[in-house]
Every structure is written in structure tokens, then in C-alpha cells.
Amino acid sequence: MHLLNGLVDLHDAGVVHRDIKPTNIISVGGEWKLGDIGLLSEERTEMTAVGTPDFIPPWGPIDRRADLYAMGRVLYCLVTGLSARSFPILPDELLMPERQYETKLVNILVMRACEPDPEKRFQAAKEFISEVQRARKKMETGEGLLTRRGTLIAGGSMIVAAAIAPVVWPSIKRQVLGAPDWISLFDGKSLDGWESADPPYTGTWLVKDGEIRCIRDDRYKHISVGREFEYGSFKAVVTPDHDHARLGFTYGHPRGSTFVFHRDKYVWIRGYRVPGEAEEARRWISFPGPVAPSGGQSIEMEVQWGKERTRLLVNGELLHEVPGLAKAGAVGLHVWGKDTGDEVGDSGGFRDIQFQPMA
């Protein structure tokens, strides 16, 4: 908080730091302060992008919002123990069930501060401070934390118990002025335009109660729209049939990527691994998000993918950013099959399936 208060004073004076990073933060009399003011400059409309690359926004003006972007990267480094170059990867220890609640709150702050679009970032240090205070209050009181078997209180923080309570997450509709219209990919009545993958990944798909659904069996199940798409956004309301299910999307096929809720967390899987191929390091990334739905309850999942980066959202909340794809491709629905230790694979339904071309 000391650092953000210091930024308030700088920005109120019409000055930006332009080189905020961990090595430029010093302790003076027990308070943390910003050091190395060599790049300090009056805030102007046109400013040169100087500083340390991993702490400079990918685009947009070098203004006070760029300082806040760098502060978000600093927060990421402090919380994860990783370098800024590792952003937005989260270490496994932060994704343990007992730490997911706190991790989610901090990750929301980091992702907002490090939003590539400067208009979506914190617009002022005071706004950043306000959200930090709000997150701190939630950690201390457990506000918004629901559990199925209760919560554990340790060290004054609320820690999520192993099983998380049922929550109905409303579908959040966003309208962007000037953006292309959303295109419906499913009429709620038939599978016209959809096609199953080659065995053994087909599963049994049908339409029931306005949803595309699959029969629960041991197989990994995949069905896709029978055409390729250019870059854009793909979303649907997803409803598992049972607790601890694993359902989601595939996009950019062939050899695209997958975004699923995976029991008690969310998972992004880069590319498609041909059976027999060796597993690649960091091909799977896990991260927290809204409570994964229990059987019969719904969330809205969305993938906004492009060539340079892909954004993963749930109920309109940005959870994570991952690398983009070299080319666009098909989009589809994915339901997990039987793994070691499972009695059977998963099942569920998908509705309100839509695509929006990139503007």
C-alpha cells in the first residue's frame, strides 16, 4: 500500500515514474518506497516507451496507467515468487484448495492492473488502492466465500474447504459498441452444422431441453461446428450433470487448444497431443476462478482468441491470458472421459452457443 500511496502523490503532481520494478523498490524506515527516479518525467500525451521490457505495457500510452501496469507486474512477482517474464503463470502451490480463495482475489487485481488495453486497466492509483482494500476485507471476513461442508479459519484468513458449495452463476451479457454481432451456432433444436470427431473421441451427442448434451460413458467426447472460423470469441452456458465434472471448449482445431473447468479449478491445455507423443512441459496451465459448478448448475465460459494472445473468461470475469494461435480454425465442445481412478467419464449440457468475429 505504501507504494501505491507514493504513486498517488507522483501522479497528483503530474509526474510518472516509468521504471517501476522490484529492484527499484527500497525500504526506508520500515516503509516501502519507489527508488531510481532517473526516468521520472512529466506526464504528457506523447511519451517514449522506456524502462524495463517485462514491466512495460504491450501497447498504449506511457502514462500513469502504464505505472499501474508495472505495479501489477510487481505484485505478480511478489505473490508468485516468479519473474515478470513468467506472467501470467501461477505456481502449483497457489492453486492448492486451501489457497485458491486468496489466490483468486489477488489474481483479479493483477489481471486488472496488467490488462493490455489501457482503457480496461485501473485508471488511477486511488482506484487500485480501493480494490486492494476491498480484496483484503474479503480475505479477512470471507465475504462471498461459500462452502458445502463449511470453512476453516486459520491465521485470520478464510480457507476454502475441499468441496465448494453450489452457486448459480448468472450469464453476463456484454455489448461492445461497434463490435460485430454475435452469431448463434446452435438453434436449440438440432445438431445441424455440428459434427463429431473421429473415434474414439466422438461420444454420443443429442439435443435435449434446448441443450447439446452427451451421454455419460468412459470416452472423451468432442463435437465441433463443421467449419473453420477466423479469430474471435466463442462462448456458451455450460451445465455439468454431476459434481467434480470436467467440461469446456476446444478452439483453433486442428491441433488447437482446450479450456475447461476441471473439478475444483480451471485448466488450459495448449494444442492436441497425439497418442504416443511425449507430454510437453507447461502444456497444461491451472488457475483459480469462480467456484466450479456442481451438478445441474451453470456458468458462462468464453474464449477470446487471436494470433498474439487468448483471453479466458467465466461469467464475464477475465481469469487468465495465454498465448494466441498461429492460425484460427474450428470450435467445439469437449467433455472428459474416464481417467485412472474414475468410475466413469463425465457428461453435461451446452446452450446459448455463440461466436463473435474479431472486430
- CA distances 255 to 88, 154, 220, 272, Å, are 23, 44, 16, 5
Q: Are residues 154 and 250 in the same domain?
A: no
Q: Say if strands 232-240 and 221-225 run parallel, antiparallel, or are unpaired.
A: unpaired
Residue 122 in any domain: the answer is yes
Query: Residue 115: is its pLDDT beyond 70?
Result: yes
Q: Are residues 155 and 296 in the same domain?
A: no
Question: What is the pTM assigned to this prediction?
Answer: 0.55
pLDDT band at 166 (very low <50, low <70, confident <90, very high): very low
Q: Are residues 87 and 205 in the same domain?
A: no
pLDDT digits (tens, 9 = 90+) for 6-52: 888 889 888 888 888 888 888 777 778 887 765 667 776 554 555 67
Q: Are residues 98 and 147 in the same domain?
A: yes
Q: Are residues 149 and 199 in the same domain?
A: no
The DSSP-derived string for 199-247 is TTS---EEEETTEEEE--SSS-EEEEESS-B-SEEEEEEEEESSTT-EE
Q: Are residues 217 and 106 in the same domain?
A: no
- Find where cell 455440428 sits: 194
153: left (phi over 0), alpha (psi -120 to 50) or beta: beta
Torsion from C-alpha of 157, 103, 174, 227, nearest 10 degrees: -150
Q: Report residue 79: phi and psi, to 5°.
A: -75, -40
Alpha-carbon distance 66 to 72, whole Å?
A: 10
Q: Are residues 213 and 318 in the same domain?
A: yes
Q: Report residue 235: phi and psi, to 5°.
A: -145, 160
Q: Are residues 225 and 351 in the same domain?
A: yes
Task: Compute the chain's Rg from CA coordinates.
Answer: 22
Alpha-carbon distance 167 to 290, whole Å?
A: 9
Percent of the residues in the chain that have a pLDDT greater than 90, as a whole number: 20
Residue 299 in any domain: the answer is yes
Alpha-carbon distance 61 to 29, whole Å?
A: 34
Alpha-carbon distance 39 to 236, whole Å?
A: 46
The DSSP-derived string for 253-272 is ESS-EEEEEETTEEEEE-S-
The CATH number for 227's domain is 2.60.120.560
Going by C-alpha positions, the residue among 54, 49, 55, 59 that lies closest to residue 117 is 59
> What domain range is 115 assigned to?
2-159
pLDDT digits (tens, 9 = 90+) for 90-102: 887 888 877 888 8
pLDDT band at 343 (very low <50, low <70, confident <90, very high): confident
Q: Are residues 69 and 190 in the same domain?
A: no
| Angle between helix 100-113 and helix 125-141 axes, rounded to 10 deg | 170
Q: Are residues 257 and 346 in the same domain?
A: yes
Lowest mean pLDDT across 40-49, 149-158, 309-318: 149-158
Is residue 16 within 8 Å of 67, Cβ to Cβ? yes
Is residue 303 within 8 Å of 312, Cβ to Cβ? yes
Is residue 264 within 8 Å of 100, Cβ to Cβ? yes
* The three grid cell numbers given for residue 29, joined into one nine-digit string: 524506515
Is residue 162 within 8 Å of 147, Cβ to Cβ? no
pLDDT digits (tens, 9 = 90+) for 58-70: 777 888 999 999 9
pLDDT reported for residue 67: 92
Going by C-alpha positions, the residue among 207, 334, 208 that lies closest to residue 268 is 334
Query: Residue 195: is its pLDDT beyond 90?
Result: no
How many domains are there within the chain? 2
Output helix, strand, coil percentages for the chain, rounded to the nearest 5. Answer: 20, 30, 50
Q: Are residues 203 and 343 in the same domain?
A: yes
